[in-house]
Amino acid sequence: MNFLKTNNFTLSILLFISGVLLTYAQYETKLTVNLNHVKKELDIKQEFVYYNNSNYSLGQLYFNDWAHAYSNKNTGLAKRFAQEFRKSLHLAKESERGTTTIISAVDSDYQGLQWERTSSDDLIRVRLNKPLAPKASTKLFITYTVKLPPNKFTSYGYDNRGNYYLKDWYLTPAVYDGKWHLYSNKNLEDLYTNSTKTVIEFNYSDSLFIESNLKKEILKKYAIGQSVRLIGENQKSAEIILQSYSTFTTHITPNMKVVTDISAPRYDPIQQGISISKITDFIYRNLGEYPHDKLLVSQMDYNKDPLYGLNQLPSFIRPYDQQFQFEMKFLKTALSSILRETMYLDPRKEQWLNSAIANYLMIEFVEENYPDQKLLGNLSKIWGIRSFNLAKMGFNEQYPFLYNLTARKNLDQALSTPNDSLIKFNQKIANKYKAGLGLAYLADYIGKDKVDESIKTFFKYYKLNQVKILDFESILKRSTDKDINWFFRDYVSTDRKIDFKIKKVNKSEDSLRVTIKNKEGTNVPISMFGLKKDSVISKYWFKDIKTLETFTIPNHEEDKLVLNYDQKIPEFNQRDNWKSLKGFLSSNKKLHFTFFKDSENPYYNQVFYVPVLNFNIYDGWAPGMRLYNKTLLERPFVYDFAPSYSFREKAFVGYGKVSYRKYLSKSGLYVANYALNGSTSHFNVNSRYSSVTPSLSFGWRPDDLISNKREFLSFRYVNIFRNFDESLQDTANDSENPDYSIFNARYINRDNGILDYNSWFLDFQLAGNFSKLSFEYEYRKLFQNNRQFNLRFFAGKFLSNKTNSDFFSFALDRPTDYLFDYGYLGRSEDSGIYSQQIIIAEGGFKSFLDERYRFSDNWLATVNTSFNLWRWIELYGDAGLVKNNGFKEKFVYDSGVRLNLVTDYFELYFPLYSNNGWEVSQPNYGEKIRFIITVSPKTLTGLFTRKWF
């Protein structure tokens, strides 16, 4: 029998008592604040009453001072930005840095208090003059100034139009529950503080309008300013928005008062009000009564946590109807604000529960009001797009899709992972979606009414109280007779993937024996649907499938069995979820050809095709067709073939590759790649090369997935086959013509940081007539004054060398690329614009020196350096030693100006002085200029995706 119905009174009493125990003594703070509009500073006098609710005496107190997180480049905020490849705070001027300056701190006897900053800089330790006994209180008076930062860092602070957005801007108490919870500001929207009765007397310019999440009670006008009193009962902190003109409107609905500046220019204001009323009614029915005077729903809060995906497109191509777009935008922001203001979970360690409730309700809102809404919106109706599987996906199907975006990359993290240990994509999107899906999964298993009632009960009795995940777990378990330990044990607390497969089906006249395999070993329930003519005629739940289990179900003449047909379960791989009952041949998936890339369709073997156009000066423009199976989600086995036709050579060229990627663990040795690559192209006029390369590689990464550190060990066997034009035969030495094979092993260690970049590798090559070893180290440092220093060191040595040409030699300025690794536009050119393309490899020199020193058949050691003078203008210098057999080593050098427009992607080098003398004064200087250009789309997109993954 349902516990919530039969024992509701007992549960209510227990919850009420626990709530009283948690809130019998409330913190109190009073602030008098003066905004200095000229200096962008807040002058604050704060009176604080601290209640020691613990059973221990306290000799010191901690306060969050998150406004000070902008003060220097070593704070948690600055370090978090660097991890996300954002250097704005690192390079900020002193005038732009936000700081808190403590003027005085005294106790109730007006005796001075010692205080100090912790190592994180944005937390303050105050030492009490006498210990604070359990259940006692003390009063503190703190006077300080907060210098506000510009809003270019986190959207908080001031903008260039004279507006202010203040959040986490004054001192708040850190939480103590037997131990201190001390969290730095890392731009994660997760300030952890106790609920406090707050009264703020805020004085500001008469040219500004004010809005806040607190209640506005008194407004006074002065000759040159105005004052407002803000009052918050049981609220954690005050948000204040000051604008030169007011953009907020107030909506009085039957269930709550809403103040918002979220709007839709092409959606009628009256209809907006109707939508807001509909949303507040939905929230009231599914959560309960909002306990505060008003709900602030701001555009700024939405911008910090928007509807990712298509809603990020420019407004003129957004595919959703205005009403749907406005309501989803408002609903998402309102739910986040309500849960943040009322549910006092530890937001850094237990943030997933608020995300679960918010996203579960968003899923419910769409199912209730927009059941036919497509993910691509109106784009799904356009010819050429509507045939894509992505266009057929419902709006709510984005939740498992975007979760799997990181799961397939082996970057998924447990919901219980602390907020500051999540990679950005998980923190912003994937974990929030997985959390919402989890409640939808649970609702499908135990009954939607039970989960809905549990959420309302949890909100009713625990809002405005310090609460734990165990409280919600207890309510859920009381709502059902089914065992749901798996949800908190496996789904929430681990990153283990869910993946099932129908192994086989034995069919009889009145029953079906279905064998289901648990591929990942995650012991959670799985749903199975019976379909007949694509209509669902049966549904079953199976549990406790540890490896392989067989179940008997009635035969209703289904023609297809499908696991997780409604996709309520965030399953890792759905390509093997179905089994046809029409015979062996009917189980074979049909081929489905699709232009460009698409989402997975588990019922077809998908082949994607897209035209390609390649270029080098020998083949000219080579159009072709690329055929591949890689979907929008990563998959283990990938093939990719791109046959092209060279009109200049009148021959087929192109490449083909097959690879299999196996993820081994989350950290340490985490991945193995097996691949077979082949390509063919022309490297000179009427001269073709073909390569066949089997390879094996392994990757290591640290436990901290946010870290950019990686290690790789690769082995490959490169087989090159060449055909020369008759006129070029004398340029190729017999020992190297036409074919050769090289075994190559390489170890790479890289820390790809935006402020500090470190990378080194050790490379070994073994062929029939030579063996060689090389080492490269590269370091980049970005200083606070925006100066960047680059250092690269290379050393290479032949262990044996029986060659009699420089084809396999170390190169000083332009490697011959006998492994065909580099993207040369004209690899055999020794004059003309294409010969000026440079690949920074081996010697890394930019000047063309004497032919005697451009190659080394013994050993080579060089250093390449550069530093910037202004923005992307740099000076570079290279120096090294070249040793050839039979000759004494030669010291070589060059220098010049580097235009570092996009590092490693587009650069220009202008030589100045070298072994050749002053190069700028020599003839044909234009032929000495070198350039780097990268046109690979995959390489370029890495610039934008690196901050997310």
Token pair, residue 341, equals 């203001």
Confidence of residue 646 (pLDDT cuts 50, 70, 90): very high
The token duo for 338 is 């309500």
pLDDT of residue 312: 64
What pLDDT, in 10s, does the model give residues 675-718? 999 999 999 988 899 999 999 999 999 999 999 999 999 999 99
More confident residue, 263 or 241: 241
7 or 820, which is more confident: 820
> If we measure between CA atoms, which residue out of 416, 419, 311 comes closest to residue 362?
311
Residue 911: beta bridge partners? 896
Query: What integer is the mean pLDDT of 415-432?
Result: 95
| CB-CB neighbours of 858 under 10 Å | 17
Mean pLDDT of 739-766: 95
**Residue from 265, 257, 225 nearest 242 by CA:** 225
- Confidence tier at 91 by pLDDT (50, 70, 90): confident
How many beta carbons lie within 10 A of that of residue 246, not counting itself?
Answer: 12
How is residue 148 annotated by DSSP? P
pTM: 0.91
Confidence of residue 915 (pLDDT cuts 50, 70, 90): very high
| Per-residue pLDDT, 585 | 53
Residue 13, pLDDT > 60, answer no
For the stretch 139-185, pLDDT in tens is 999 999 999 999 999 999 999 999 999 999 999 999 999 999 999 99
* Residue 525, preceding peptide bond in cis (omega within 30° of 0): no
Mean pLDDT lowest among 1-15, 386-400, 873-887: 1-15
Q: Under 8 Å CB-to-CB from 28, ≥6 apart: which residues?
A: 48, 49, 196, 197, 198
Given a cut of 90, is residue 871 above it in pLDDT? no
What's the sign of the alpha-carbon dihedral 60, 66, 67, 72? positive
pLDDT tens string 793-829: 999 999 999 998 899 999 999 999 999 998 888 888 8
Given a contact cutoff of 8 angstroms between Cβ atoms, the answer to whether 237 and 344 are in contact is no
**Mean pLDDT for the chain?**
91
Q: What is the pLDDT of residue 827?
A: 85
Q: How does strand 196-205 pair with strand 27-36?
A: parallel
Q: Quick one: 202 exposed, middle or buried, by C-beta within 10 A (0-12, 13-18, 19+)? A: buried
Q: What is the mean pLDDT of residues 485-508?
A: 93
Specify whether the backbone of 503 is left (phi greater than 0), alpha (psi in -120 to 50) or beta.
alpha
Phi then psi for residue 210, to 5 deg, are -115, 145
**Exposed, middle or buried: residue 686 (CB in 10 Å: 0-12, 13-18, 19+)?**
middle
Q: Percent of the chain having pLDDT more than 90? A: 76
Q: What pLDDT digit, counting tens, does each position of 648-672 carry?
A: 999 999 999 999 999 999 999 999 9
The three-state secondary structure class of 717 is: strand
pLDDT digits (tens, 9 = 90+) for 315-340: 667 788 999 999 999 999 999 999 99
| C-alpha triplet 387, 622, 822: angle, nearest 5° | 105
Can you give the pLDDT at residue 943? 63
Report the alpha-carbon distance of residue 194 to residue 541 in Å, rounded: 43
Least confident residue range of 72-81, 590-599, 842-851: 590-599
- What average pLDDT score do residues 297-306 get? 93
